[in-house]
Structure 1
Amino acid sequence: MMYLLLMVLLNALLAALFKLFVRFRVDNFQAIVVNYWVCVLTGSAFLGSFPVGAASLSRDWLGLCLLMGAGFISIFNLFAYCTRRDGITAATVANKLSLVIPVLFSIVLYDEHPGLVQWLGIVLAFPAVYLASLPKASMEKVSPHKHNLFWIVLLFIGSGLLDTAMKYAEQRYLATPSEQASYTIHLFFVAGTIGTLLLLFFLITGRMRFSWRNVAGGIALGVPNYFSIYFMIRMLNSNFIQSSAMIPLSNVGVLVASSLIAMLFFGERPSARNKLGLLLSLIVIALLAMS
């Protein structure tokens, strides 16, 4: 339970930081790249050693780690692209509703058997996430062009597969806290390396301009970001409840916490649909907690 609460609070904090980035004109991509290296340093300090080295090449999970590290930065950029081209509503809903993929994989691969109350909570999580995610300014229907719809579908599948891969890694390879911390550091190391190469290319070709405010933003983002992933793995490994219920519960919890922060600290007022989504979210939390 503690890992779930910490993961939810840290993810809500990340959402608040991204809102502050807009106010202070922080470039998201540059801050994200810096954030990856801060995550590596934070994780190494937390673990008490730097686990990336020659021995990493012989780890059983290396291939999966490389794929997931690339997925981290790819999905982020795909989300940014879909937001710009198809609207924040389409991108957010595709990203959040992707939880259906790891839920189904958990039921099929790990022979989980949700009870009636759990199934009700899982099913209600989908309209809850959809309604709570809808921005007030985007209530009108978003009609992506035909070729853009491909990217929205790809975002949905990619986000879901990334969450599924995280569960698979935890289930197969990460039995101890030290292994979980080491794997998380390797993930961010791979993402940071890929991001740095891309950033150097953008800077050399003049597509981006460097600013120290982006470094400051990345430092602020890095510490909570590392622990959000670490506590997510610890949460999945805790067997608090089945992962088919844990994943919707954590997604809904993040939405509720983020919405409360937006209302209390950023003066945002939810629409009628947002309120309905938040009400459904509370019902989902209650159902999954009861189960």
Structure 2
Amino acid sequence: MIVLLLSILSSSAIYIAFKLFGKYKITTLNALIVNYFTAFILGLSLQDQLSIDELLETPQKDWFYGSMILGVMFILVFYLMVITTQKGGMSVVSVASKMSVAIPVLFVIAYYDEPLGLLKIIGILMALVSVYLVSVRRRDGLSIDMKFFIFPLLVFLGSGLIESSIKFLENTYVPDSEISLFSANTFLFACLTGSLVFGYKALSGRAKFNWKDILGGFLLGIPNYFSIYFFILALRIDGLDSSSIFIINNVSIVLLSTLLGIVCFKEKISPKNWIGIGIAILSILLITYVN
């Protein structure tokens, strides 16, 4: 359970970093590129007894191409989130990305034939309701022009596909001894994809780096790496099925991030958000009890 707690803390630290990006006017794409490069280097450094020959043999790993696709998807989903924020606001993108936990939960229940009892179903439904209530900060709920609905839908599908793919790859192809290398390779391709986007923007005079982007990216890269590393370890906890791990991990991140926003950034939340927090706590307790 320690690794699950560390996964939650690492992901919540990412939330803090993104809040600071806005405060200090850090360019998010630039910081993401540095962040992914930092995570890549960190992953290589934590891989046990990694020689040059073993590193060159990475493309021969069974998980290599899946890891490469994951890295590309990190940047793709990020850009979909940016577009969704522009078209519908932060609440829309927050709900779309966080409600996507339903996809990996359904995937592991169906694909791995995980047990599903009445209490667990109730816990999952409570978790989804809590995520919605906590994420919606507008008093009148969500509002988006239906002609732009495709963007939050793609965020929902893309975010869910990323988590489902991590589960499938780690369960099928990634041995314990290669978790750091797998994570590093994923972040490398995210970095390369982001660099291509930056290069395109730079050629058109729409992008440039500054020292704040580099520092912000470096500080983000550390918790970002460990959020993936510890999440993969959490998926291998004995006694907790993967669908429960997904729910507990995601709902706890939403819960802790919200509480950190209140304490650290003096964010105001509505009674509806407080109800969501209460339901989130109950859902975590119920799913943990079921397991």
Q: For the residues of structure 2 that align with 1:214 and 1:205, how far apart are their CA atoms?
A: 19
TM-score, normalization: structure 1?
A: 0.95
**Which amino acid is 2:166 matched to?**
M
Equivalent runs, 1:59-98 vs 2, <5 Å? 59-98=61-100
Is 14-23 or 196-205 further displaced after alignment?
196-205
**Can you list the C-alpha shifts for 1:268-288, whole angstroms capped at 9, x where unaligned?**
132111100000000011101
Corresponding residue of 2:265: 266
**Can you list the C-alpha shifts for 1:186-206, whole angstroms capped at 9, x where unaligned?**
000111111112112212211
Corresponding residue of 1:57: 59
**Which amino acid is 1:80 matched to?**
V
Instruction: Structure 2: give runs of 5+ residues left out of the alignment.
Output: none
| Shift, 1:142, TM fit | 3.6
Corresponding residue of 2:199: 200
| Shift, 1:53, TM fit | 4.1
User: For residues 87 and 126 of structure 1, do their structure 2 counterparts lie closer, same or farther at Cα, with a shift above 3 Å needed?
Assistant: same
**Can you list the C-alpha shifts for 1:95-131, whole angstroms capped at 9, x where unaligned?**
1111111111101100101333222211111100000
Corresponding residue of 2:103: 101
| Shift, 1:211, TM fit | 1.1
Question: What SS is found at the alignment partner of 1:237?
Answer: coil
The 8 Å contact of residues 99 and 131 in structure 2, kept in 1 or not, is answered as yes
Q: For the residues of structure 2 that align with 1:272 and 1:107, how far apart are their CA atoms?
A: 33
| Shift, 1:79, TM fit | 0.8
**Which amino acid is 1:12 matched to?**
S
The 8 Å contact of residues 64 and 182 in structure 2, kept in 1 or not, is answered as no
Aligned match for 1:113, one of 102, 115, 119? 115
**Which amino acid is 1:208 matched to?**
A
Question: What SS is found at the alignment partner of 2:7?
Answer: helix
The 8 Å contact of residues 100 and 160 in structure 2, kept in 1 or not, is answered as yes
Is 124-133 or 138-147 further displaced after alignment?
138-147
Equivalent runs, 1:138-149 vs 2, <5 Å? 138-149=138-149
**Can you list the C-alpha shifts for 1:65-112, whole angstroms capped at 9, x where unaligned?**
121111111111111110111111111111111111111110110010
Task: Name the % identity.
Answer: 32
**Which amino acid is 1:202 matched to?**
K
Instruction: Structure 1: give runs of 5+ residues left out of the alignment.
Output: none
How many residues are paired up?
Answer: 288
Corresponding residue of 1:4: 4
| Shift, 1:175, TM fit | 2.9
TM-score, normalization: structure 2?
A: 0.95
Question: What SS is found at the alignment partner of 2:149?
Answer: helix
Question: What SS is found at the alignment partner of 2:144?
Answer: coil
Q: For the residues of structure 2 that align with 1:289 and 1:258, how far apart are their CA atoms?
A: 20
**Can you list the C-alpha shifts for 1:7-50, whole angstroms capped at 9, x where unaligned?**
11111111011111111111111000100000011111222537
Corresponding residue of 1:248: 247
Q: For the residues of structure 1 that align with 2:161 and 2:51, how far apart are their CA atoms?
A: 28
The 8 Å contact of residues 71 and 190 in structure 2, kept in 1 or not, is answered as yes
| Shift, 1:209, TM fit | 2.6
Note if 1:238 corresponds to 2:237: yes
Q: For the residues of structure 2 that align with 1:114 and 1:183, how far apart are their CA atoms?
A: 31
User: For residues 240 and 38 of structure 1, do their structure 2 counterparts lie closer, same or farther at Cα, with a shift above 3 Å needed?
Assistant: farther
Note if 1:289 corresponds to 2:291: no
User: For residues 269 and 141 of structure 1, do their structure 2 counterparts lie closer, same or farther at Cα, with a shift above 3 Å needed?
Assistant: closer
CA RMSD of aligned residues (A): 1.5
